[in-house]
């Protein structure tokens, strides 16, 4: 089995020399055990901040994959079954089945299994629960989402449209802006090109925003929070612009705005709703099959290119979910 380890804690942006490919022989299977090979692996922003907290130098990089059973001594997992696992950046792994999540039985052959790591997986569930439960959108609300062309943001925007909202998105390239228009965003702007974020946000919705799905933090947040309407709801999903900072930049303080506008701002980790994942996954799968939620994937081929795919995602090379295909 081959695995990518983190040999050095990231300092600022992750660099190629922070990763090392190792190889080890797996033991023969015991009764009840299953051998899987990774077919698709996920690279996600959380790996940047979480690696510092959860990993020691030399550990295998954290992460999840879609694996296929290639040998089995467990009748619940016959050869050929596909499962989502959370075994890190590794090509082959042994499981006792407890932490394996088989793809839903209604998964059609025609649908890429990699979607179980994206639109119909963790990022989709993040959009579904993090937006609906915390932003509590009503028909006619104006919704702002940043990182809008990414795995989570692109789904948030489409769910908001399904709920009858007006949706404004921001992303980092003109191609991404075109993608946002194609999937139904009402307004979209390239945050790297607008002179002033405040003006771009005002132009996109002069009346302000009812809901703000926050993926970026930092300066974006400083520009967006003042434009919230009274009683607005902010779902803090991520702060990707701040993950590489050892010390958070000092900025304007938003507490007076939260107070006087009577805003509600709440952070979340998607596993809060783990007891409802089956419900969320069913709904997302149905929307995808009905064509109501469209998806895009950014696929990097080759396990050896995993660090490259990860670093590229952090720099914005992906439109839609960043995936590694072994
Ligand atoms: P994406 O598919 O959106 O990929 C990351 C994107 O971030 C890049 O494509 C890039 O797009 C953008 N980006 C990178 N640096 C910056 C920056 N400095 N300022 C603005 N944008 C930047 O990733 P995900 O959809 O998987 O994740 C989106 C957010 O959701 C992240 O903050 C992540 O941590 C969070 N998240 C939170 C979860 C939770 O449980 N709370 C679960 C899953 C994700 P661009 O070209 O537009 O800059």
Q: Please write the tens of the pLDDT for every residue from 161-217.
A: 999 999 999 999 999 999 999 999 999 999 999 999 999 999 999 999 999 999 999
* Integer Cα distance of 217 and 236 in angstroms: 8
Q: Please write the tens of the pLDDT for every residue from 78-112.
A: 999 999 999 999 999 999 999 999 998 889 999 99
Are the C-beta atoms of 263 and 224 separated by less than 8 Å?
A: no
CATH code reported for the domain at 2-118+297-325: 3.90.180.10
Q: Of 44, 231, 214, give the one whose Cα is nearest residue 130.
A: 214
Query: Taking residues 297-324, what's their average pLDDT?
Result: 98
* Integer Cα distance of 9 and 21 in angstroms: 16
Q: Of 45, 91, 42, give the one whose Cα is nearest residue 63.
A: 42
The residue ranges of every structural domain in the chain are 2-118+297-325, 122-271
Q: Residue whose CA is closest, atom 46 of ligand 1?
A: 172
Q: Please write the tens of the pLDDT for every residue from 37-57.
A: 999 999 999 999 999 989 999
Query: Taking residues 56-61, what's their average pLDDT?
Result: 98
Q: Of 24, 26, 35, give the one whose Cα is nearest residue 96.
A: 35
Give ligand 1 pocket residues (Cβ under 6 A).
44-46, 123, 126, 147, 149-153, 171-173, 176, 215-216, 237-238, 240-241, 268-270, 313-314, 316, 318, 321-322
Same fold yes or no, 2-118+297-325 and 122-271: no
Q: Residue whose CA is closest, atom 32 of ligand 1?
A: 238
Q: Residue whose CA is closest, atom 16 of ligand 1?
A: 241
CATH 3.40.50.720 fits 122-271, yes or no: yes
Q: Give Cα 187 to chain centroid, integer Å.
A: 22
pTM above 0.95, yes or no: yes
**Closest ligand 1 atom, CA of 267?**
41
Instruction: Provide the ipTM.
Output: 0.99
* Integer Cα distance of 82 and 67 in angstroms: 6
């Amino acid at each position: 089995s081959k695995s990518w380890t983190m040999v050095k804690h990231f300092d600022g942006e992750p660099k190629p020399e922070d990763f090392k490919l190792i190889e080890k022989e797996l033991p023969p299977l015991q009764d009840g055990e299953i051998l899987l090979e990774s077919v698709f692996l996920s690279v996600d922003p959380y790996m940047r901040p979480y690696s510092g907290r959860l990993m020691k130098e030399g550990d295998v990089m954290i992460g999840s994959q879609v694996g296929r059973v290639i040998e089995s001594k467990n009748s619940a997992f016959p050869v050929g079954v596909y499962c989502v696992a959370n075994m890190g950046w590794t090509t082959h792994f042994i499981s006792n089945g407890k932490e394996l999540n088989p793809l839903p039985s209604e998964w059609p052959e025609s649908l890429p299994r990699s979607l179980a790591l994206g639109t119909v997986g963790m990022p989709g569930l993040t959009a579904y629960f993090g937006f609906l439960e915390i932003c509590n959108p009503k028909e006619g609300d104006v919704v702002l989402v940043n990182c809008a062309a990414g795995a989570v943001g692109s789904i948030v925007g489409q769910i908001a449209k399904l709920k009858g909202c007006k949706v404004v998105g921001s992303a980092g390239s003109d191609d991404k802006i075109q993608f946002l228009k194609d999937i139904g965003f009402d307004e979209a702007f390239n945050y790297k090109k607008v002179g002033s974020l405040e003006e771009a946000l005002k132009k996109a919705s002069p009346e302000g925003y009812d809901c703000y799905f926050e993926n970026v933090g930092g300066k974006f947040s400083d520009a967006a929070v003042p434009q919230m309407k009274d009683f607005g709801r902010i779902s803090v999903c991520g702060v990707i612009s701040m993950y590489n900072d050892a010390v958070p930049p000092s900025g304007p303080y938003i507490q007076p705005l939260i107070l006087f506008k009577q805003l509600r701002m709440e952070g979340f980790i998607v596993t809060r709703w783990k007891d409802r994942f089956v419900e969320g996954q069913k709904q997302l799968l149905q929307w995808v099959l009905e064509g109501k939620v469209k998806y895009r994937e950014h696929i990097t081929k080759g396990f050896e290119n995993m660090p490259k795919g990860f670093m590229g995602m952090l720099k914005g090379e992906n439109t839609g979910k960043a995936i590694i295909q072994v």
